Amino acid sequence: MIIGYTTGVFDMFHVGHLNLLRRARENCDRLIVGVSTDEVVREYKHHDPIVPFGERVEIVKAIRYVDEVVAQTTMDKFAAWEKLRFNRLFHGNDWKGSAMYNEVEARLRAVGVEVVYFEYTKGTSSTLLSERLRNG
C-alpha cells in the first residue's frame, strides 16, 4: 500500500487545492493531509489565515480524495514522516528547487520516500483571493 502525504494551509479553499488533492490521491492508495495550524501559518506567513484552523480541517475532511486529516504543527516534513510513515510526499512545483525542499528531498530520499511535484495551478491562490478582498 502506498501512503501519500501532502500539506497546506487550505485557506479559502479553491480549485488549486482541489487539483492538488485529486492528483495526490491518484498517485497513492491512502492520502493523509496535514492542515497547517493557525500558529504555523503565523510563523511562516506572518499573518493569520482568514478561515480558522478547525473550519479548514472540516473542509479538507469533506473532500472525497482525502482519507485522513492531521494537524501540521511544524513545517518539518521529516518529523511528519517519523510519525506517519508515508511513502510519497506531494507538493506543488512552486517549491521545487528551493533550498528548503532540496533538503526535504534529500532527507526523505534517504528513508525511501519519493517526493512528487505537481504543476502549480496558475491564476488562483489564497494570497490572490485575500488581496482581491482587501482591494475590492
| Structural domains in the chain, sorted by start | 3-135 (3.40.50.620)
pLDDT at 16 over 80: yes
- Supply the DSSP string of 48-65, one letter for each residue: --SS-HHHHHHHHHTSTT
pLDDT at 134 over 70: no
| Over residues 18-32, mean pLDDT | 97
Q: DSSP strand E in 48-110: where?
A: 68-72, 88-92
Give the tens place of pLDDT for each residue, 34-74.
Answer: 999 999 999 988 889 999 999 999 999 999 999 999 999 99
- The confidence score (pLDDT) of residue 60 equals 98
Report the alpha-carbon distance of residue 98 to residue 93 in Å, rounded.
10
Question: In which residue are the cell numbers 473550519 written?
Answer: 55
**Which among 25, 72, 35, 41 has a CA at the least distance from the CA of 55?**
35
- The confidence score (pLDDT) of residue 118 equals 92
The model carries a pTM of: 0.88
Q: Give the single-character DSSP code of 32.
A: E
**Bridge-partner residues for 5, per DSSP?**
32, 89
Q: Are 11 and 44 in contact (CB under 8 A)?
A: no
